[in-house]
Structure 1
Amino acid sequence: MKLVEVTPENAVKETFFCIKNTKKQGFKDKLKWFKKSYKEGLKIKILKNDEDKMIGFIEYVPAIKAWRPIDADNYMFIHCTYIYAKKDRNKGYGSILIEDAEKEAKTKGMDGLCVITSKGGWLANKTLFENNGFEQLEAKDRFELLSKTWNSSAKKPKFYNWTNQQKKYKGWHLLYADQCPWNEKSAVAILNVAMDYGVDLKVSKINTVEEAKMAPSGFGVFNLLHDGKLLEDHYISATRFRTILKKELDMSK
């Protein structure tokens, strides 16, 4: 096994693992986002076998630059990690990726690692992290905040209260960031459905870390709201949005 670091120079060759087609708009948007975030300490590592086949990946960043609603001063934060094939899971590959993030955090003199997990889709299950020495600090909605520290006096990471942020969004709103390369495709699909139904959907890009930390959901980089209520916190299909839209419109009659 080998770890290959993605850089602005080799990103087109290595891809971002979760999106491999470099011609897709999502890849182009992620690349632009990555080049900026790379300067802020963000790392993407791809795990490959001896045949150069991609097995999994991890994306991590100093927590003060994390695109999630967390407050963690001197920690490394894991945005995403994933082992693609089921046959490759439970073989310790996920631990290899986490160990790389831990090594980087210690090299930079940080107090620990932290991560947001979920039983639902789009985020890793907490079991992998608990098996690697992480402890759960908080749980809110469908999300858990876990950390691993080697400094017993370090301040513990905590969630920002994203529920309070939801109240300010009146009408229909979609806020998303290019941290996830699949958000753009979903945003276009959702906007087209909204137009079909004559719904005034305000679509906004989350362009800064500060905006992401103050996002109205636990995932942070995708937020679909109607009159202060969070409807989805991860990218969805046009079909899924059509179902949500019909339900909301029926309730408002």
Structure 2
Amino acid sequence: MNTDFINLTAENLATEHLCCIIRSKKPHPGVEAKRQWLSDRLSEGHVFRKLNEKATVFIEYAPLETAWVPIIGDNYLYVYCLWVLGDHKGKGYAKSLMEYCLADAKEKGKSGICMLGSKKQKSWLSDQSFAKKYGFEVVDSTDYGYELLALSFDGTTPKFTPNAKNPKIVGKELTIYYDMQCPFVYQNMEMIKQYCDANDVRASLIQVDTLQKAKELPCVFNNYGVFYKGNFETVNLLDVAYLERILKK
């Protein structure tokens, strides 16, 4: 097991690969968009820690106060992503990353750590069963299947904002809220724009580009949130088949 991990910093951000999407030749627009997003976050205490090789082995977290999610609480860390994929699974990497985050939180005097979950595990959400092995518990929930998991060190707990618990919007057209933290979002949004243009589908594609916008979102959010006919649909990235199923409702 390779135990060489590194954290992204302002000094190495331009040259280090981002393990969400591994590219060795042509620049990837989504990766570069995320790199720019990270450059504005690192000074806020945002942490991106990864295995020091070309692999999808990383954890990404931030102080909850500056995390781009509609979750509020005092003195918590929020885990955006914890991923170990491919041949690296089953070798203890997730354990190493989680334990680093736990140690970092305790060293900084945090009240705990939280992350987005759901009653049924969904793609694009980190493995909540793994988190529960460390003592994470459901501390808040929505009526539409999503949960907030937290590991509290002092008995306090974070919570979803009221807006996130009431996933309704006025507009009836396809509406997608997105940010550039996830490198898969850029090309996904390009695909959706092309589909909507080619099929005369009215759409409101709203980039979440400030912390305030993120905290005020009308649904749970993990870089992406989809509405249609005023109703919340998913935080999962859409492919054409999924998009067409939604539009048939």
**TM-score (structure 1 length as normaliser):** 0.87
In structure 2, what residue type is equivalent to 1:158?
A: K
* Corresponding residue for residue 44 of structure 2: 40
CA gap of 1:20–1:130, structure 2 versus 1, over 3 A, is: same
* Corresponding residue for residue 33 of structure 2: 29
Give the drift of 1:73.
Answer: 1.2
* Corresponding residue for residue 115 of structure 1: 115
In structure 1, what residue type is equivalent to 2:148?
A: L
CA distance in 1, matches of 2:19, 2:54: 11
Deviations 1:160-213 (A, max 9, x none): 232435223343322210111111111111111111221221212100122112
Gaps of at least 5 residues in structure 1 are 249-253
Contact 1:164–1:216, Cα closer than 8 Å, also in 2: yes
* Corresponding residue for residue 196 of structure 2: 194
* Corresponding residue for residue 148 of structure 2: 145
Deviations 1:27-64 (A, max 9, x none): 1110111011111110100024xxx4536100000011
| Range 159-168 or range 129-138, more displaced | 159-168
CA distance in 2, matches of 1:134, 1:164: 24
Contact 1:74–1:111, Cα closer than 8 Å, also in 2: yes
| Local SS of the residue matching 2:44 | coil
Q: How does 1:1-253 map to 2 (within 5 A)?
A: 1-21=3-23, 23-48=27-52, 52=53, 54=55, 56-85=57-86, 87-118=87-118, 119-140=121-142, 141-152=144-155, 155-161=156-162, 162-245=164-247, 247-248=248-249
CA distance in 1, matches of 2:165, 2:138: 20
CA distance in 2, matches of 1:228, 1:220: 19
In structure 1, what residue type is equivalent to 2:97?
A: L
Contact 1:6–1:16, Cα closer than 8 Å, also in 2: no
| Range 137-146 or range 64-73, more displaced | 137-146
**How many positions carry a matched residue from both structures?**
241
Higher relative contact order (CA 8 A, sep 6+): 2
Identity level (%): 27
CA distance in 1, matches of 2:236, 2:147: 16
CA distance in 2, matches of 1:125, 1:84: 12
| Range 10-19 or range 39-48, more displaced | 10-19
Gaps of at least 5 residues in structure 2 are none
In structure 2, what residue type is equivalent to 1:45?
A: R
What's the C-alpha RMSD, in Å, of the aligned pairs?
A: 2.0
| Local SS of the residue matching 1:193 | helix
CA gap of 1:142–1:2, structure 2 versus 1, over 3 A, is: farther
Contact 1:175–1:222, Cα closer than 8 Å, also in 2: yes
CA distance in 1, matches of 2:64, 2:21: 24
Give the drift of 1:2.
Answer: 2.1
CA gap of 1:182–1:172, structure 2 versus 1, over 3 A, is: same
